[in-house]
């Protein structure tokens, strides 16, 4: 039967309408995170990869296929699956990351740091025999321990005495804060200063002094050289016995906390007053993120983690029991409205993490992570817990509830510090390295570091460490400044 012209026009209109409607739906789906998968013949939800690098302008490859754009870049409508992202730029080391794209989720490869192939460096204070150092919380001020050379009557070098130096920044020469008065060889000599620590605003310095008869003394001094002679405090002269632990308050710049025979007490510098015990049976203590963390033996004879706020030192939160151990590492941190406490007893070598300490204690959860953990650290945002698990880097991403084990070696780990929220500076087996939080990128900075000294930081993404000249253990370590952004070398 013949189709009339009106019927033909109607069918044409209907068919065209269906095509337009389907095309609109398809384009809308593609524009809002869907993509047609030719392998399966299905329309699938997609994800996004945000990419960036330091410096920008790096070429990008995805799964070994170069794309025309450079960093920064947003790879949209990516099908779910595993991808390898690689950034490259002339004169710089490549950066590689394995990432997983999930439907309707954003993946990030925006923290890439392309280090120079040859990292420039320079000595700091080469004429000073610096053997130890500490840095303020804002990473702008420094305290140093220097060995001063003594001469005999003939003007020849005869011995050395330690001295405390302070630098308000690295562009200025350090000033002597304190040096013991030289004495004759028949009297007790000061042989070393160690564990220098600056308070919250870097107005005071705490240091431990050891003399030739192995006596240990804790000294507290202002960082203004003009005030040291009148305000220097010898804590041991004011205490009944030597403290097993001394630490600065996180919240008050003129307060120290001391563990004296298991009694935790507060010492105020302004009036040189030692307060009554805050807690007894204290096995370990630490101020962290404005919280006082302690391991205490309570009436049941067991050890418990307790945490106090600065305004309620007499009202601790008792969190959970901990195993008996000679040492405990502890950290308090926050993430996305939740507060956390992490404790690592050396005896169990398992990390105990508790969520909801003060924010929502009725929903408090405690978990145990890892095995044979010897050390852990948490980044500033509280997102990443990085652990040394059997000499391998193990990371927990609390925000995404993921775990990363890429086999990065931490054998011989002696120091690590967060350079920023995604990168760790570490010293392993005399090597100074920069490692991504998950261990996927592990770059050598120097291979002749002193393992008994700290890692320090300065402006323009630079860091400092003590280099052992020629790898000779007998040689004096040299404070060396490494510039990871070569176009920003500082004087």
Tens digit of pLDDT for each residue in 180-212?
Answer: 986 666 678 899 999 999 999 999 999 999 999
Looking at residue 304, which CATH number applies to its domain? 2.130.10.10
Given 81, 96, 113, the domain boundary residue is: 113
- 58: number of Cβ within 10 Å: 23
Give residue 183's pLDDT.
Answer: 63
Measured between alpha carbons, how far is 404 from 416 in angstroms, rounded to an integer?
A: 18
Closest C-alpha to 255, from 201, 195, 329 = 201
Give residue 41's pLDDT.
Answer: 52
Given 315, 342, 369, the domain boundary residue is: 369
- 83: in domain: yes
Measured between alpha carbons, how far is 330 from 315 in angstroms, rounded to an integer?
A: 20
Following DSSP, what letter does each residue of 294-322 receive, concatenated?
A: EEEE-TTS-EEEEEEETT-TTSPEEEEE-
Which residue numbers in the chain have pLDDT < 70? 1-44, 182-186, 488-491
Beta carbons of 275 and 235 less than 8 angstroms apart: no
Rounded to an integer, what is the distance from CA 352 to the centroid of its chain? Answer: 19
- 170: in domain: no
Eight-state DSSP code of residue 225: G
- 381: number of Cβ within 10 Å: 15
Give residue 40's pLDDT.
Answer: 54
- 108: in domain: yes
Give residue 181's pLDDT.
Answer: 81
Q: Which residues span the domain enclosing 357?
A: 241-369
How many domains is the chain partitioned into structurally?
2
Task: Provide the whole-model pTM.
Answer: 0.89
- 109: in domain: yes
Express each pLDDT in 31-64 by its tens digit. Answer: 445 555 545 555 468 999 999 999 999 999 999 9
Which of helix, strand or coil describes residue 25?
A: helix
Helix, strand and coil percent figures for the chain, each rounded to 5: 10, 50, 40
Closest C-alpha to 284, from 254, 304, 255 = 304
Measured between alpha carbons, how far is 426 from 151 in angstroms, rounded to an integer?
A: 38
Beta carbons of 84 and 96 less than 8 angstroms apart: yes
Give residue 162's pLDDT.
Answer: 96
- 103: in domain: yes
Torsion of CA 432, 434, 435, 441, to 10 degrees: -110
Q: Is the dihedral of CA 442, 444, 449, 453 positive or negative?
A: negative
Given 72, 90, 113, the domain boundary residue is: 113
Looking at residue 76, which CATH number applies to its domain? 2.60.40.10
Which of helix, strand or coil describes residue 375?
A: strand
Give residue 442's pLDDT.
Answer: 98
Measured between alpha carbons, how far is 57 from 52 in angstroms, rounded to an integer?
A: 9
- 27: number of Cβ within 10 Å: 11
């Amino acid at each position: 039967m013949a189709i009339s012209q009106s019927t033909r026009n109607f069918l044409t209109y209907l068919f065209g309408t269906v095509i337009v409607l389907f095309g609109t739906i398809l384009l809308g789906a593609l524009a809002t995170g869907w993509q047609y998968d030719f392998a399966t013949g299905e329309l699938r939800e997609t994800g996004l990869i945000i990419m960036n690098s330091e410096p920008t302008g790096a070429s990008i490859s995805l799964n070994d296929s170069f794309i025309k754009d450079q960093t920064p870049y947003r790879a949209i409508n990516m099908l779910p699956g595993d991808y390898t992202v690689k950034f490259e730029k002339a004169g710089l080391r490549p950066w590689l990351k394995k990432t997983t794209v999930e439907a309707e989720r954003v993946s990030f490869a925006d923290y890439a740091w392309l280090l120079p192939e040859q990292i420039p460096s320079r000595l700091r204070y080469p004429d000073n025999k610096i053997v130890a150092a500490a840095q303020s919380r804002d990473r702008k001020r420094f305290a140093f321990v220097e060995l001063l050379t003594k001469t005999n009557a003939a003007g020849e070098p005869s011995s050395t005495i330690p001295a405390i130096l302070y630098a308000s920044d690295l562009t200025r020469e350090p000033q002597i804060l304190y040096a013991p008065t030289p004495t004759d060889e028949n009297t007790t000599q000061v042989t070393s200063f160690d564990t220098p620590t600056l308070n919250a605003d870097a107005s005071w310095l705490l240091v431990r002094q050891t003399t030739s008869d192995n006596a240990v003394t804790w000294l507290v001094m202002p960082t203004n050289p003009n005030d040291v002679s009148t305000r220097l405090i010898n804590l041991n002269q004011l205490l009944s016995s030597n403290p097993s632990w001394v630490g600065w308050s996180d919240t008050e710049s003129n307060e120290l906390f001391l563990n004296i025979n298991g009694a935790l007490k507060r010492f105020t510098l302004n009036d040189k007053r030692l307060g009554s015990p805050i807690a007894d049976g204290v096995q370990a203590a630490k101020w962290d993120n404005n919280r006082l963390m302690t391991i205490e033996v309570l009436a049941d004879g067991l050890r418990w983690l307790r945490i106090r706020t600065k305004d309620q030192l007499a009202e601790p939160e008792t969190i959970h029991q901990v195993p008996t151990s000679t040492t405990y590492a502890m950290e308090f941190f926050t993430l996305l409205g939740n507060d956390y406490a992490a404790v690592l007893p050396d005896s169990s070598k398992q990390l105990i993490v508790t969520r909801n300490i003060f924010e929502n204690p009725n929903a408090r959860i405690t978990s145990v992570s890892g095995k044979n953990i010897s050390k852990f650290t948490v980044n500033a945002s509280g997102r990443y817990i990085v652990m040394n698990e059997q000499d391998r880097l193990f990371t927990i991403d609390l925000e995404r509830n993921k775990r990363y084990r890429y086999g990065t070696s931490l054998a011989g780990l002696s120091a690590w510090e967060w350079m920023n929220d995604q990168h760790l500076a570490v010293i392993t087996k005399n090597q100074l390295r920069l490692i991504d939080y998950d261990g996927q990128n592990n770059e050598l900075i120097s291979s002749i570091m002193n393992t008994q000294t700290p890692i320090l930081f300065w402006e323009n993404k630079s860091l400092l460490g003590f280099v052992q000249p020629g790898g000779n253990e007998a040689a004096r370590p040299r404070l060396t400044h490494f510039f990871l952004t070569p176009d920003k070398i500082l004087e």
